[in-house]
Structure 1
Amino acid sequence: MNKSDEKLLVGYWLKLYLADYLPIIKNGSQNTIKSYSYCFCQLLSFIKSKGLVVSKFKIEDLTLNIISDFLNSIEVVQKCSVTTRNLRLAAIRSFAKYVSSVEPQYLLWYSRLKYIPNKKENIKTFEGAAQPKIHYLEKEEMQVLLNAPDKTTKQGMRDYVLLMFMYNTGTRASEVVNVKISDIHIGSPNTVSVVYVRGKGNKTRPCPLWDTTVKLIEPFLHRSKDDAVFLNKYGNPITRFGIYELVTKYAAKAAELMPSIAKKNVSPHTIRHSTATHLLESGVDINTIRSWLGHVSINTTNIYAETNLKMKAKAIESCNLNNPDLKVKPITNQSIITFLKSLQ
C-alpha cells in the first residue's frame, strides 16, 4: 500500500494521534491517553462486530451512523452510563478535529460529526436541582464483594487487599495505579497510618488507613520504595483497566450470593461512591469526606448527602468500616488493535 492510500485509513491516523499528537504536541495526561486508547479499542471492536475489516477501514467509512450506533451500544449493550457515553464521544471528536486540521479534505467529515449531541442525565434532587445519580453498594453488599476473592491463593489475596484499599481510601482507579510504596506511611501504635494519594491536577492528599488495611497491605511493602504497591500477575503495575476487570469479575461473583448487586452495574467508581456514602451514614462531616475523596468543590461532595435518603429518614447506626510513567510507543506496523492495547 502506498503512502497516499495509507492516509485514507483510520488506523494510520489513530497511530499518529495517540503516539505523536496527544502525548507530545497536546501534552495530554497519561490518563487521557489511556482512556482515549481504550475508547478506540472499543470502537474498532464494534466496527469488527459489524463484519467490517478494521485494517481497511477508512476515515470516510467512520460515518455519523456508525458512531451513533457505537455510542448507543455503549449504553444499551455494555450498560455504561451517559457520562461514559459522552466521554467516548469527546475522544472521537478530538480525533476527528485533529485529522481535519492536518488534512483539510476531512473538514466536512468533521463538521458532520459535530452534529452528534452529548446526552444529559438529570436526576431531580430534594431541592429540585438536577444532579447526577449516585450508584453505591449497601454495607452488606460491600462486605459480600470484599469476600468474593479466594484469599487462600496469592492472586486472590492481592485482589482482596486491593478491594479493601479502594474501599478504605475511596480512591479512583487512576489514583490506585499510581500509589507507590513510598506513598504509604505506617504509623506507630499512637499515630494514624496514611497514604498520600496523587489525584486530579497532580494534587496530593493524605488519606487515613484503617488498622485492618494496614495489616493487610504491610506484606506488599517489602520492595523498592519506587515500586507500585499493586502489581499484576506479570509483575508490572496494575492498570486502570486491570482494576476495572477485577472489580467487575468479583461483582459478578458477589451477585450470585446477593442478587441486588447485579442491578448496580458495579465499577471501581461504585466503590468510591460506597466509601463516601458509608462515611456520611457514619456521621462523618461533609468537609472531611470532601478532603478524603479529593473533591475540589464541596458541591461535588454534597451530591452524596442529597442522594442518601436514609439520612433524612432515620438516625444512622455507627458504621464499622473496618470489616475484615507512560512512555510514548513507537509507530510500527503492528495491528491497530495491538497498538491501542499497548497504550492502556
Structure 2
Amino acid sequence: MEKQRGCSVSTRNQRLAAIHALARFIGERSPEHITWLTLVRSIPFKKISKPSMTYLDKREMDALLNAPNRNTPQGLRDHALLLFLYNSGARASEAANLTIADLDLGSPSSVILLGKGGKVRRCPLWPHTAGKLAALVVGRRADEPVFLNRQKQPITRFGICAVVKRSAQTASQKLPILSTKRISTHTIRHTTAVHLLRSGVDINTIRAWLGHVSLDTTHIYAEIDLEMKAKALAQCEVPASASDTIDNWSNNPEFMAFLKSL
C-alpha cells in the first residue's frame, strides 16, 4: 500500500476519534485487552488554533443594514432580511425555512425558529423589525415563506448568503473598514450575541436566543467581551511611578516572607 501523505489536523483528529471509539467498543467486550486499549485511548488529540471570530460593532452593523436600496422591492426585502438576522441571530437555514405562520407581529412581537435537530425556540422581535416584516408579508398566505427571491420563489440559504455578501460590498464603499472583514450570515449571528452580552443580557439567555445546545458554545462570546474590556482597561491604566517598581517591593523582606507563606 502506498504510504499516505500528511493530512490536516482536523482530519487527523477525526480519525483518532474513530480509533478511540473502536477501542472503547472493544474494551466493553474484551476486558483482557483493557490495558492496551487504555493506552490507545490515551493518545491525545492534536490542538488546533481556533480562527478569530468576526463580528461587527454598532456602526458597522448599521452601515450593513442601510446598504440595500429601499426604493426598490428587492432592497426592501434585503433590508428586512438583514434586520431579521440581526434581531434574531437566526442561521441562514432558519431564515430560509421561516414561514409567515411562524411570525407573531402583535405586541409584543416574536418569531418561532426551527433550529438544528428540530429544536424550536421563540425569539422576541423589535417593533421596527416587526413593522418591516409586516409590510413584506401583507396579503400573503400563512403557509408561504417569509422571504422570497426575485422569481417569487422561496429564497435559499445560498440566496441569503448572497444578500449579505452583496450588502457588505455596498456598505464597504461608505465604510471601507468593512472590506477588511469577511462578512457572512454567521458574522451577523456573532454580532447579535456580542451586542446582547454588552447590553447586559446573561449568557444563558443568549444560549437560548441562539439555539445553542451547550452553554460551552456560547461561552466564547463572554471570552471575547472580556478580552475587549481588558484592552479598554489597559488603555486607561495609570502608569507606575518609580516607587512602584518591582525592585522596590522585591527588596522588602516582610513582603517577600508573606508571599512565601502563601
TM-score, normalising length: structure 1: 0.53
Which whole-Å deviations, capped at 9, do the CAs of 1:236-281 have from their partners, x for residues lacking one?
Answer: 1100110111111111111111121111110110000000011111
Task: Decide which of 239, 243, 246 is 2:156's aligned counterpart.
Answer: 239
**2-structure distance, mates of 1:150, 1:120:** 45
Tell me the distance in 1 between the aligned counterparts of 2:172 and 2:188.
15
Q: Which residue does 2:112 correspond to in 1?
A: 196
Q: Which residue of 1 aligns with 2:53?
A: 134
- Structure 1: state its 5+ residue gaps: 1-63, 72-81, 87-118, 124-131, 316-344
Identity %: 50
- Tell me, in whole angstroms, the C-alpha distance in 2 between the residues paired with 1:122 and 1:283: 29
Amino acid at match of 1:201: G
SS at match of 1:207: strand
In the alignment, which residue of structure 1 is the partner of 2:83?
A: 164
Q: Which amino acid aligns with 1:122?
A: S
Tell me how far apart the structure 2 counterparts of residues 230 and 120 of structure 1 sit (CA, whole Å).
Answer: 41
User: Of 156, 166, 170, which residue of structure 2 is paired with 1:253?
Assistant: 170
Contact 1:281/1:311 (8 A) holds in 2 = no
Gaps of 5+ in 2: 12-45, 234-262
CA distance in 1, matches of 2:162, 2:126: 25
Q: Structure 1 residues 149, 121: CA separation in 2 closer, same or farther (over 3 Å shift)?
A: farther
Q: Is the Cα contact below 8 Å between 1:148 and 1:253 reproduced in 2?
A: yes
Aligned-partner SS, 1:194: strand
Partner of residue 206 from structure 1, selected from 117, 122, 127: 122
1:122 aligns with 2:49: yes
Q: TM-score, normalised by structure 2?
A: 0.69
Q: CA deviation at 1:314?
A: 5.6
Q: In the aligned structure 2, how far is the partner of 1:293 from the partner of 1:161?
A: 19
Aligned to 2:106: 187
Cα separation, 1, equivalents of 2:64 and 2:47:
30
Once the two structures are overlaid, the 10-residue window that deviates more, 154-163 or 252-261, is 252-261
SS of residue in 2 equivalent to 1:160: helix
1:200-223 Cα distance to aligned partner (Å, 9 max, x none): 001110000001101111122331
Q: CA deviation at 1:134?
A: 1.4
2:191 counterpart of 1:274:
yes
Question: What code does the residue aligned with 1:198 have?
Answer: L
Letter in 2 for 1:187: G
Match of 1:155 in 2: 74
**C-alpha separation in 2, matches of 1:239 and 1:263:** 26
- Classify 1:227/1:283 alpha carbon distance in 2 versus 1 (closer, same or farther; 3 Å): same
Map Cα deviations across residues 3-60 of structure 1 (whole Å, 9 max, x no partner).
xxxxxxxxxxxxxxxxxxxxxxxxxxxxxxxxxxxxxxxxxxxxxxxxxxxxxxxxxx
* Equivalent position amino acid for 2:154 in 1: P
Which whole-Å CA distance do the structure 1 matches of 2:163 and 2:137 have between them?
21
Contact kept in structure 2, 1:172 and 1:272, CA below 8 Å: yes
Provide the aligned length of Structure 1 versus Structure 2.
Answer: 196
1-structure distance, mates of 2:144, 2:82: 19
8 Å Cα contact 1:195-1:206 kept in structure 2: yes
CA distance in 1, matches of 2:47, 2:170: 32
Q: Which secondary structure does the structure 2 equivalent of 1:245 belong to?
A: helix
CA distance in 2: counterparts of 1:150 and 1:276, whole angstroms = 27
Q: Secondary structure at the match of 1:238?
A: coil
Considering only aligned residues, what root-mean-square deviation do their CA atoms show, in Å? 2.7
